[in-house]
């Protein structure tokens, strides 16, 4: 006979303790809305999973204006533009001049550290190493999920249940919550796979450029990014099945340098490489972003290729819209904003999908591309960089649109 679950009752149950889930929990708690967060991974695993992060000003304000630690301002690196490089020449887009905005380079795992610390400081109920095994009663006023404690020494047979008014699936691109409600129940998945990936490195080296370099070259795309004054993050386009063990440091630096070479003599600053990874990516959207009283947010509902720097920012935008809806629901009893959540969020999601797809297509070189396609992409880059209106469109999209 199965054990009777140990039950917790709360107002909002959140599956997923990454940045999206923790930020929503933080905002709700500040308004006195009770919530419980469960996360399959342990704190240290998430903390040490290196992921890039470019934050829009709105995302930075969501952290700093709500009492999360201000390290994003002291450790984060504010950037005033990007460098589009093609035909071996650099074209700087100055964001403050174009759209009166900046972005901040701050790794996603650092955002997690700050939010997790804020929840601990404020007594938040965040349960790590909790694997969800079932979601139930989503079309009722009491949706619920069940999980097991998978920490070392826990009873593997014990089941816990969280009952709530609203269930939020913020559990990432492999979302259990999303998969529990398939297309057969009236949902539709929109997706596209890309025929290339990114080979990413972390290196102990000085900055090669004050701004991020997005390079289009005959040999493929490269992104020269930063992490700090002494640690840098860089990527180059590769095959999805590329094996990192086939690449020595010398071979990596040669490949990166080849993709930024030009008549101006730009030379990358090199150093020891201490992390190598291949990042596959796709575009994906689940519609609608809810099922009954379960609402999806962040990567659980959509993913974008990293070229447009939209992933974490889209998650934060979802959180803002969903928080506004939940605050309205608990203060007035009105479900109007909750019922409008998916439609409101999806408008921004599809704008971001378009921008990310556009940037990816313009900057990358497909292995099967013919000479016409390569020349056309260069013509597009020339069009953007030679027009203030073109630059403003890219700058506005990169630095972000209003959350609602």
pLDDT at site 184: 67
From the candidates 26, 291, 310, 403, give the one annotated as an active-site residue. Answer: 310
pLDDT at site 144: 98
From the candidates 40, 148, 306, 364, give the one annotated as an active-site residue. Answer: 306
Residue 277 — very low, low, confident or very high, per pLDDT cuts 50/70/90?
A: very high
Residue pLDDT, tens place only, 64-110: 999 998 899 999 999 999 999 999 999 999 999 999 999 999 999 99
| 375 counts as catalytic | no
Residue pLDDT, tens place only, 164-188: 999 999 999 999 999 999 776 789 9
pLDDT at site 1: 40
Range name among 125-129, 149-153, 226-230, 318-322 with the lowest pLDDT average = 226-230
| 91 counts as catalytic | no
Say yes or no to pLDDT of 281 above 90.
Answer: no
Q: What is the DSSP string of 105-143?
A: E--HHHHHHHHHHHHHHTT-EEESSEEEEEEE-TTSSS-
Residues 386, 89: Cα–Cα separation, whole Å: 13
pLDDT at site 366: 86
Whole-model pTM over 0.85: yes
| 276 counts as catalytic | no
| Three-state secondary-structure class, residue 3 | coil
Say yes or no to pLDDT of 2 above 80.
Answer: no
Q: What is the DSSP string of 58-82?
A: HHHHHHHTTTS-THHHHTSEEE-EE
User: What phi and psi values does residue 320 have, to the nearest 5 degrees?
Assistant: -60, -45
Say yes or no to pLDDT of 404 above 70.
Answer: no
Put the strands of the sheet holding 273-287 in their side by side order.
Answer: 89-94, 81-86, 212-215, 222-224, 231-238, 188-204, 273-287, 302-303
Residue pLDDT, tens place only, 360-400: 999 998 888 899 999 999 999 999 999 999 999 999 999 99
pLDDT at site 368: 86
| 310 counts as catalytic | yes
pLDDT at site 402: 85
Mean pLDDT of 309-334: 97
From the candidates 147, 194, 214, 330, give the one annotated as an active-site residue. Answer: 214
What's the whole-number average pLDDT of the chain? 95
Q: If you search the block for the tokens 């020269």, which residue do you land on? A: 224
Q: If you search the block for the tokens 């390290």, which residue do you land on? A: 71
Residues 193, 311: Cα–Cα separation, whole Å: 16
Mean pLDDT of 319-342: 98
| 147 counts as catalytic | no
pLDDT at site 369: 87
């Amino acid at each position: 006979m199965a054990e009777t679950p140990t039950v917790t009752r709360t107002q909002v149950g959140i599956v997923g303790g990454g940045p999206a889930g923790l930020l929503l929990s933080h905002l709700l708690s500040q308004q006195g809305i009770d919530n419980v967060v469960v996360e399959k991974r342990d704190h240290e695993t998430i903390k040490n999973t290196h992921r890039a992060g470019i934050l829009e000003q709105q995302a930075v304000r969501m952290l700093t204006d709500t009492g999360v630690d201000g390290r994003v301002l002291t450790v984060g690196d504010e950037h005033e533009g990007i460098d589009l490089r093609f035909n071996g020449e650099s074209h700087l887009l100055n964001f403050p001049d174009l759209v009166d905005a900046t972005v901040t380079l701050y790794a996603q795992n650092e955002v997690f550290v700050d939010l997790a610390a804020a929840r601990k400081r404020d007594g938040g109920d965040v349960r790590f190493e909790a694997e969800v095994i079932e979601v139930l009663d989503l079309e009722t006023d009491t949706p619920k999920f069940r999980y097991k404690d998978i920490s070392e020494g826990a009873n593997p047979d014990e089941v816990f249940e969280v009952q709530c008014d609203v269930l939020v699936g913020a559990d990432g691109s492999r979302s259990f919550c999303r998969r529990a409600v398939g297309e057969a129940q009236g949902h539709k998945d929109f997706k596209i796979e890309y025929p290339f990936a990114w080979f990413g490195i972390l290196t102990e080296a000085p900055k090669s450029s004050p701004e991020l370099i997005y390079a289009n070259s005959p040999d493929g795309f490269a992104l020269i990014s930063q992490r700090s004054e002494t640690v840098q993050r860089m990527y180059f386009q590769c095959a999805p099945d590329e094996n990192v063990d086939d690449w020595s440091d010398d071979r990596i630096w040669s490949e990166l340098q080849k993709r930024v070479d030009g008549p101006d003599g730009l030379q990358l600053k090199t150093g020891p490489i201490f992390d190598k990874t291949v990042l596959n990516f796709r575009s994906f959207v689940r519609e609608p972003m809810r099922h009954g009283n379960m609402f999806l947010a962040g990567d659980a509902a959509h993913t974008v290729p990293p070229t447009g720097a939209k992933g974490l920012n889209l998650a934060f935008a979802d959180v803002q819209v969903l928080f506004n809806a939940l605050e309205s629901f608990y203060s007035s009893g009105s479900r109007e904003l909750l019922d409008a959540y998916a439609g409101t969020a999806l408008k921004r999601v599809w704008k971001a999908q378009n921008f990310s797809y556009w940037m990816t297509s313009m900057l990358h070189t497909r292995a099967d591309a013919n000479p016409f396609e390569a020349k056309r992409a260069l013509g597009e880059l020339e069009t953007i960089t030679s027009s203030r209106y073109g630059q403003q469109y890219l700058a506005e999209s990169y630095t972000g649109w209003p959350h609602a």
